[in-house]
Amino acid sequence: MESLLEIRNLKVEYHTYEGVISALDIEYLKLQKREILSLVGESGCGKSTLALSILKILPPNGIIKNGNIIFDGLDLVKMNEEQMKKIRGKRISIVFQDPRASFNPVFTIGEQITRVLITHKNLSKKESLQEVENLFKMVGLPDPKRIINSYPHELSTGMCQRALIAMALSCKPDLLIADEPTSALDVSIQAQIIELLRDLKNKIETSILYITHDLAVAAQLTERIAVMYAGNIVEIGNVEDIYDNPLHPYTYGLLKSIPKANTAKLETISGEVPDLFNPPSGCRFHPRCPYAIEVCKKQKPMLMNITENHSVSCFLYSEKNE
C-alpha cells in the first residue's frame, strides 16, 4: 500500500518568554492509505503539536525548524498559507478535544458545517444543507434538521462531537486527525464515539491518525500504535506486537501501569516528565529508564526496524542489529 503521510526529521519549537521549548523531534513516521494509526503518549509529549504541525496551524510562537511532512507527494512544510488553505478541511481534517469549544457559540451548527462545504466544494446553500443531513445520518445523529438549527450550547457534548466528526468528514478527506476526541467526554459517550469511529473506519476511505493518552482506547480502535515520549517517537508497531512484546522501556512501563482487575498495587514509571526547555541529553527517556546504559546519556538513539512492522528507538537493541 502506498504511504499517505511521511514525516522525516521534523523539529518543532515554541518560542516563549522563558526560552525555547524543543517540542518535537521526530525522526520518521509513516501512515499508509486507509490505515488507522494511534499516537499514544502522556500529556505534554507533543502529540497535539504534531497534529497542529501537519496542518500548519501552530500558534504564532510555534516554528517548524526543519523537516519534511510529505503528504501524498507534497511537502507540507514547504507550502505557503494559500496552498495550505486548499488542503485544510478538504484533504486533511482534524477533530479536536473539546467539541463544544470547537464551534462558534453565536452561530448555528448548520451554518458552520455548510460554511466548510461552501468553501471547499463550492456547493450552494441548499445543496450543502442536504449534504449535512446525509452526514448527520452517517454519524448517527437523530433529527438532523433540529441539530442544524441548534446552537452548540444546546447540544450535549456527545452530539457536538458527532457533529464535529461529520464536519471533518464532510469533504471526504484523505486524512483525519483525531486529537484526543474522547478525552472530554464521559466514559459512556466515549464508548459510543469509539464505536462510531470503528464503524466509519469500514465505510470510508479516510486514513485516521488517532491521538490519545489512553493505550487501551488505542488498542480498541486501531491497527498500529506509535508511542511518543517528550517529542520523540520511541516505538511503532502493530497492536499485537506492542502488547505482547513491548520493546521500549517506556512502552513497557505504560503497559505495566494499566490497572487490571486484580491489581493490588499500581505500577508507575518513576521520575517526572522532562523539562523541554532543557531536554535531557541523548535519549530523552534516560533519566527515568531502569535499563539506561552509558551511551543513552550521550547520543540520541535512531529508529530501528526490529521486525518488518515493529520499530523502536532504543540503544538496548542496537547491538542485536549490528
Which residues of the shown chain bind another protein in the complex (CB under 8 A)?
A: 17, 55, 57, 84-90, 93-94, 96, 98, 101-107, 112, 115-116, 119-120, 151, 153-154, 167-168
Distance between CA 51 and CA 179 in Å, rounded? 7
How many CA within 13 A on the CB side of residue 25? 18
State phi, psi for 95 to the nearest 5 degrees: -120, 125
Q: Are 42 and 213 in contact (CB under 8 A)?
A: yes
From residue 28, alpha-carbon distances to 58, 219, 232, 267, 282 in Å are 20, 22, 10, 30, 17
Least distance CB 106 / another protein (angstroms):
5
Beta bridge partners of 28: 8
Least distance (Å) between residue 248 CB and another protein: 31
Smallest separation, CB 55 to another protein (Å): 6
- Beta carbon of residue 188, minimum distance to another protein (angstroms, whole number): 24
| 130-138 LR contacts (CB < 8 Å, sep 24+) | 131/170, 132/166, 132/170, 135/166, 135/167, 135/169, 135/170, 136/162, 136/163, 136/166, 138/166, 138/169, 138/200, 138/203
314 to each of 47, 71, 232, 245, how far by Cα in Å? 20, 27, 11, 14
* Closest to another protein by CB, 107 or 291: 107
Q: State in angstroms the smallest separation of the CB of 60 from another protein.
A: 9
Q: Which is nearer to another protein, 57 or 258 (CB)?
A: 57
The residue among 88 and 310 lying less far from another protein, judged by its C-beta, is: 88
> C-beta of 115: minimal distance to another protein in Å?
6
Query: Considering beta carbons, is residue 87 or 185 the nearer one to another protein?
Result: 87
DSSP label of 184: T
Q: Which is nearer to another protein, 158 or 301 (CB)?
A: 158
CB-based contact 98:158 (threshold 8 Å): no
Phi, psi values for residue 264, rounded to 5°: -90, -45
CB-wise, 48 or 313, nearer to another protein? 48
Which residue number, 65 or 85, has a Cβ lying nearer to another protein?
Answer: 85
In the block, residue with C-alpha cell 453565536: 106
Output 184 or 219, the one with its CB closest to another protein. Answer: 184
Give the alpha-carbon dihedral of 48, 53, 59, 62, to 10 degrees: 110
Distance CA 157, CA 164 (A): 10
Q: How far is the CB of 150 from another protein (least distance, A)?
A: 9
CB 153 to another protein: min, Å = 5
d(CA 109, CA 241): 41
- Indicate the SS3 state at residue 23: strand
**Of 103 and 136, which has the nearer Cβ to another protein?**
103
The least distance separating another protein from the CB of residue 97, rounded to whole angstroms, comes to 9
